[in-house]
Structure 1
Amino acid sequence: MIEEWSQKIMEMFLERMREIESVKAPNMTYGFDLLKIGAIGERAEHGVPVTEIYGTSIKFPYFDELRFVPAMIAKKPVDPLEVNTQVRIGPKAKIPLRLPTPIMATAMAYGISISKEAKKAWGKGTALAGTACNSGDAGFYLPEREQAKYYIVQYNRARYGNREEELKQADAIEIRFGQASMGPLTETVESTDIDEELARHLNLEKGQSAMRPILHPEIKEGKSLKHIVENLRKIRDDIPIGAKIAAGNIEKDLDEIIEARCDFVTIDGAGGGTAGSPKVSMDNATIPLLFAIPRAYHYLVKKGVKENISLIAVGGLRDSGDYMKALALGADAVYAGQSALIAMVYSQLQKVPMGTSPAELYLSWGKHTDKLDWEAGAQELANFIKASTMEMAMLTGLVGKKDIKDVSVEDLVCFNQDIKAATGISLAWQPSNN
């Protein structure tokens, strides 16, 4: 009896296999995962470009390909407690940013990205960790400034939160040209999504949408980045002033940044997250940090300005291992984004229905933003930064260095010939020359 049933089941299976076109689903085809299929459906249903939260779901060469080389006998390890983790951003500025950690909280815009409560947590969490947070491209936001110890204000193309009295309260100014997930592209926040408080902050009339131009007004008029920097120095000539770019024409963009005498450059690599960017640019544009950081670092060295210009990396960095690898490749500091947001709300996930995205707790339009305990979130953000900094010290001591700034590509190996060619990192199967 069992043999007969087995035979029948096998015959049914073979019959279905012969009719495979009726059972094979799109998601069984390479590259057509549920997100891809869903995006196709969104375009078909609504007839407009698709936007997505977080970073790209596409996998490309990344920091997982790199490993640190432990010091044993020939090279002696260092006690992590003896490792220096302090950094300076804008070393030539009169008042450089002096931080106890290379980890900062990345740009998050009030109202356009995250909620008022989340912004306060962003400020207080970084203050508790002794580090800096970035205002995002809605500019200066007073409730965040009141909580933050060190505050980096983005000078954005729409000039939101960029009045002179607001810029004077910054500890650094970052001129935003774009970000990894959308390059220079812009987005519009419809008036129906703007409440009275946000409209007041953005200086919008009732019923007016928030629109950001693709170019800074000065650039549109034919002026240069140098002109923008010089005007900002008339407001604050003592703090670091830098530029943020998506990783693209790195060397040519750096020429402009060097000419403008910027104090730092922030490079956003592929994988960088967002509260909502076009899927087409998120999945198809921008160079990964694995290649962008070495290009930027070596070009600044070649031009003889690396000692004057700090290099900040952001874009898809997940944890202390990634942060430390970014520094080894040439960065001076990093921004934490998605990981920091996860840390901020991790213990509060039970407040939202099972299967709900954590983003519903911190996005300005989230369905559960009222449930966020921002002070608890601030403490956990601080804990994450402190723990990650200690782990970076552990990796630094592991390779036999006493200062995180001394860790370099010589302390790494890779598994890939292309990565070796791009970064100068030794292959894991070849004898070490160090």
Structure 2
Amino acid sequence: MSLPWGTNFEKEGRMASSAPAAGAPDTGTPGSMGDVRRGNLALVLGRIAQSGAGAHLTRAQVAAATGLTKASVSSLVLDLLDAGIVREIGLNPQGERGRPGVGLELNPAMGVMGMEINVDYISAGLTDLSGNLLLHQTQEQDNRIASPGSVAAALAGLAADLRGNAEAQGVRVLGGGLAVPGLVDVKTGTVITAPNLGWNTEALDLDALLPGVPLGTTLFNEANAAALAELRYRPAGGADFLFVSGEVGVGGGLVIGSELFTGPQGHAGELGHVVVQPDGAACSCGGTGCLETVAGQDAIFAAAGIATQAASDGSAAWASRSGRAASGPSRSETLAQLLAALAAEDADALGAVTRAGRFLGVAVASTVRLLNISSVVLGGHFAILGEWIMPALSDSLERYAPGKVLPGNISLSGVGQAGALLGAAGSVVRSLVEAPHRLQVQAS
């Protein structure tokens, strides 16, 4: 599969990177020959990337598709080959007269690491430049009782393991993307606030996550990254949708015109903090009655009467230092208990999920009316609970926003738990396709 390279994955200025200064775009007089060549380099690489699996375009075909001369394309392709971004593969006899040309494809020996920090787990996955997930590992741990530095260190260790495995298989890691469940300042690599983690104004050492990679590491909001992955991977496609991320908290990503909409400061889509119960429970954000107080994982588990991994601060901290699991069931075990209770038609479990679906509908109804969006994609635990939550969500939407979101326009995520890291990795690849000279500078 190839990524939709023609899609603007993120508005300009929304991505921050720890990439070394040497990899930054060269400055110079606008319209200079260097600018033209860099633009043509991106044009050629973008056309190769768009060709799709198994379609190995030749230099002549790239020239015909881009309008550049064959000589220019040949020169640009040599630069891409030298940088290791593309490789030659076999002969392509299709669509050409005379001697077959040599096919071109994104180099499968180059990869990008997607990473995620969430409330109760860390995760890392390696994709190739075409977006295929090659390696993936998740480690469950309670990050609420650990310092940001220790969480980042644990993730760096996980990423190092995957990077070692990748290099053993001949795959070089070019850069990475990190997704976190909170508001982020992408320019400085700072988590402004992540209420469910208890983080405020935490400047992360992005370089330490993947030391020495030429493209550095970028920072993303978790729900936005997952929305990007959904845009790329969802089988039904669609240019406009609201992605709803369900974890301990609830997040949202807005895709409008096949572009991620993040607002002036990059913080749009905070669905979990839409007020659905004005006189409801206090929320970790400091507000009252937010959606995640009734539809977040912990809220659903509590309403269903299912115990969570709620160890005391002291015992949890000891467990974290000793490398042992904290007392109580893990996240996956707790979800399994809830699913078993739902399958057994337990009244408390059914009531908890129905209640979550109803209030989710209240928040979504307000959002789709405001933004004129008619499609909703459910991710995280909302997708896992889809069989039970969809009826309540559909009924709620019909009550509060009749005709705005038809039942057929509510779908479950096509990427599953790996969505955030896939989206983060994919956006890093996108940045490379838009500016391949960054890697050239590093390789020179």
Tell me the TM-score range normalised by the shorter chain.
Answer: under 0.3
| Larger RCO: 1 or 2 (CA < 8 Å, sep 6+) | 1
Tell me the TM-score normalised to structure 1 length: 0.26
